Structure 1
Amino acid sequence: MNKYITNGIILMSAAMLCLSCQQNAVTKDEESIYDKTDAYVLDMMDSLDIIGLNYCVLIDGKLMHKKAFGLANYEHEVPMTQDHLFAVASMSKLFSSMALHKLLKDNNRNVNETVSEFLPERKDLPVSWTASSLKSLLSHSSGIPDQIDYQIYLAPDSEDVVIEALQNKPFSSAPGETNKYNATGFLLIRMIIEELAGQDFESYMQENYFDQLNLSKANYGGFKKVVPHRVKSYRMVGEHLEMFPLNYSSPMYAAAGLNINMEELVVWTQAVLDGKIISKEELTPIWKPVVLNNGKPGYFGLGWHTYELGNGISMTGHGGAGISVIRHYYKENSKETVTVILLTNGARNWLKSPDDVNMGIANFFMPGVLD
């Protein structure tokens, strides 16, 4: 064989070996950081006595790692898997928010319009409520009476029950004065979605999101509904671990009631991050904290819990029932992003919140999140 050809083959083989070594080194580094996050999560499970969980990490929108630990059903010792569905509670608001913003865009409407402009035929609503802007409802700054304050939880028999019970109740604050988590606001948001869509909320979400994104397992329903492969949720009551009855009814599905597994939640999250629902540019004002009357930013954007952490890092997302949370971390003027989804079915001791654990995971990939 020609010596130049022979030398070329040797050099090419050496280059390929070098490239292979570099790739193996990267793989080992990646494995190392995911081993560390797994160890951290297992340590948190042990110290907080979490029953079971799924977690995943997306880097720049790409799924890089996911794991399931613990039990999906404590009393029957059913191991947790990545196929299990979770009742994600208020994380449902993110789905509703994105659906609403898409409808607003399609109908040439905007968040500064008032409830009365969206629902002119609803004469049963108090005038003080209908003067509220959609922006104030999404940012929990409207001040309208919150049904939870009056022990009307998230499974009312009908929207009429909520309206009749609260129509003479005072506002908790002046509009725009403060952020106060408000379930009644999302009752109105569901009505507005139905008005813009021309159909009921559940059917609209099924046809336009679950079916379109092939989310075949996602569905709405409270703990009384039989949902195959859904985890059982738990909480501590006094010194005893009890079932957590996450109960919801259709009037409140824009606020809570979604059941979904990690795989399908990741698919939906990627659709958001990839601009498949609305453009990436249109996400910017949605993720920007709404400015309150005092000129300071609140801690809600337009349906998303969002604020600046410092170090140029911002965070947006939502929690669910105090046991699960999705957070998207990003830097201004940078394409670098980290998304961490943490779904649990409860714990005996939330000395650290799911938010804290989520941020602890994110800090491995975006140092400064915890500073």
Structure 2
Amino acid sequence: MKTFKYITLTLLAIILWAVFIIYGISDGFILKSLSKDESPEAFVEATKAQIEQEFVGNMAMVLVENGKVAEQFFHSEDKPVHENTVFQMASVSKWVTSWGIMSLVQNGQLDLDQPVDDYLTRWHLPASDFDNSKVTVRRLLSHSAGLVDDLGYEGFGPDETVQSLEESLTKAADAGYSDGVTKVGVAPGTQYMYSGGGYTLLQLLIEEVSGQSFQDYMTETVFKPLGMNNSTFDLALRPDLELATLYKSDGTVSAPYKFTSLAAASLYTSAADLTKFLLANINPNPVLKPETITQMTQAETFIGQIGVYGMGPHLYSQNAEDSYVIGHDGNSNRPTVNTAARIDLMAKNGIIIMEMGSPNIASTLADEWLFEAAGIADFVVIQRNMSYLIMLFSIGALLMIIGAVVLARRKRG
């Protein structure tokens, strides 16, 4: 009976130890940071170590502390990269596009909750089994309009013909892994469904309401007022820009791809310009009023009880009370692009990573920054800590077993 008692108590202690470790993972206090002392300088050194482990063609990184640039890091395989070198940004385009939309809302030219079809003449949503009138600007911005396109634009090569906006919305030729049809397939307002097609629809909306091309409108409304002089959605119109060499993941060089969906995927910008945009989210700026930014950074779309999207930016803080991190990541396979831009609206700390050649290092490093800056640990951080966690659990369990054996022998003696 005594042996059974010791075994039971030991197993209970091991279970409690496992629960403690799991709690430590979820709360973050048991996990190790990527950098040594969680300073911007240490994060740059950790980044250098990371990119030595895989191919990274070009990279630009900016770290913001207390609303000011604290550190910058640039890496290149060929010609030097600097703060004004232009990178393809992929889906970070959507966050910048949302500023163009919200400027129209702020000026009374758009109603967030009006059916988007009411504003359109050149193209309309195809008939569906759901109420298309519930597809609104608010829901398109927050990926809750019920669109099931699953786009994902891959763009068009140098010798390929670029579709018109209307053709792309009807069936995108550069869809890649989906059928590319922008249509309502889920009841609008009921769930989060990431939609590139929704932002192509917003691009059309901007053109219809403003009477300008999307490129001209965004240049005059967002880029010029913020001083983003090395930014464009249409690379062909800015041959003066110094474009970073585009790399594929195998290390070969790629030509730039062209996009119909400028709003969803085609932003080209520099580290210096994107820093200006990032800081405009926490400082007075000539484009959007503080109350407009507050409105667009509130949770509109949820997964369970966690807010995941506002009207444009992704929400990273997972309902944390002492941080409010917003931003967007971007990925492309043609060429291999991974980008991330995030800012904590409370602490005024942020990160920008623009990278070509690796499919995920920018998002991985941004997740590591999120853990260091806000204590929020996702799969990336937990996976990096896994061997340490297994060792920690094993040592604790072994000590408990040894302790139980020693105690049992003393009792017998």
Taking the aligned partners of 1:83 and 1:122, their CA distance within structure 2 comes to: 37
Q: 2:197 aligns with which of 141, 164, 184?
A: 184
- Give the AA of the match of 1:254: A
Cα distance change, pair 241–208 in 1 and its aligned pair in 2 (3 A): same
For the 8 Å contact 2:116–2:137, the answer to whether it is kept is yes
Taking the aligned partners of 1:269 and 1:100, their CA distance within structure 2 comes to: 17
Query: Quick check: 1:285 aligned with 2:286?
Result: no
For the 8 Å contact 2:92–2:328, the answer to whether it is kept is yes
Q: Which residue of 2 aligns with 1:357?
A: 365
Q: Which residue of 2 aligns with 1:230?
A: 243
Per-residue deviation, 1:357? 0.5
For the 8 Å contact 1:233–1:345, the answer to whether it is kept is yes
**Counterparts of 1:122-271 in structure 2 under 5 Å?**
122=122, 124-128=124-128, 129=132, 131-146=134-149, 148=151, 153-155=154-156, 156-165=162-171, 171-221=184-234, 228-236=241-249, 240-243=250-253, 247-249=257-259, 251-271=260-280
* Aligned-partner SS, 1:274: coil
For the 8 Å contact 1:56–1:341, the answer to whether it is kept is yes
- Give the AA of the match of 1:215: M
Taking the aligned partners of 2:86 and 2:362, their CA distance within structure 1 comes to: 18
Over the matched positions of the two proteins, sequence identity in percent amounts to: 20
Taking the aligned partners of 2:182 and 2:281, their CA distance within structure 1 comes to: 37
For the 8 Å contact 1:67–1:82, the answer to whether it is kept is no
Q: Which residue of 2 aligns with 1:23?
A: none
User: 1:214-245 deviations in whole A, cap 9, x for unaligned?
Assistant: 32221223599856421123233xxx334456
Q: Structure 2, unaligned stretches of length 5 or more?
A: 1-36, 157-161, 173-179, 332-336, 379-413
- Give the AA of the match of 2:97: S
User: 1:272-327 deviations in whole A, cap 9, x for unaligned?
Assistant: 321312222322231222245x8744522111111434652332111122611001
- Give the AA of the match of 1:54: A
For the 8 Å contact 2:300–2:307, the answer to whether it is kept is yes
Cα distance change, pair 93–47 in 1 and its aligned pair in 2 (3 A): same
Q: Which residue of 2 aligns with 1:81?
A: 82
Cα distance change, pair 186–43 in 1 and its aligned pair in 2 (3 A): same
For the 8 Å contact 1:289–1:307, the answer to whether it is kept is no
* Aligned-partner SS, 2:265: coil
Number of equivalent positions: 320
Taking the aligned partners of 2:251 and 2:68, their CA distance within structure 1 comes to: 37
Q: 1:339 aligns with which of 337, 347, 350?
A: 350
* Aligned-partner SS, 1:247: coil
Q: Which residue of 2 aligns with 1:25?
A: none
* Aligned-partner SS, 1:56: strand
Per-residue deviation, 1:191? 1.5
Q: Which residue of 2 aligns with 1:370?
A: 377
Per-residue deviation, 1:342? 0.8
Task: Specify the structure having the higher radius of gyration (Cα).
Answer: 2
Taking the aligned partners of 1:356 and 1:117, their CA distance within structure 2 comes to: 41
Per-residue deviation, 1:362? 4.8
What is the root-mean-square deviation of aligned Cα atoms in Å? 3.1
Per-residue deviation, 1:36? 0.9
Cα distance change, pair 214–48 in 1 and its aligned pair in 2 (3 A): same
Per-residue deviation, 1:32? 9.4
For the 8 Å contact 1:107–1:196, the answer to whether it is kept is no
For the 8 Å contact 1:287–1:301, the answer to whether it is kept is yes
Q: Which residue of 2 aligns with 1:24?
A: none
Taking the aligned partners of 1:50 and 1:90, their CA distance within structure 2 comes to: 19
Higher deviation after alignment, 279-288 or 123-132 = 123-132
Per-residue deviation, 1:184? 1.2
Per-residue deviation, 1:110? 2.8
Cα distance change, pair 367–137 in 1 and its aligned pair in 2 (3 A): closer
Q: Structure 1, unaligned stretches of length 5 or more?
A: 1-30
Q: 1:327 aligns with which of 318, 342, 345?
A: 342
User: 1:80-106 deviations in whole A, cap 9, x for unaligned?
Assistant: 322311011211112210111111110
Query: TM-score if structure 1 supplies the norm length?
Result: 0.75
* Aligned-partner SS, 2:269: strand
* Aligned-partner SS, 1:327: strand
- Give the AA of the match of 2:277: W
Cα distance change, pair 243–222 in 1 and its aligned pair in 2 (3 A): farther
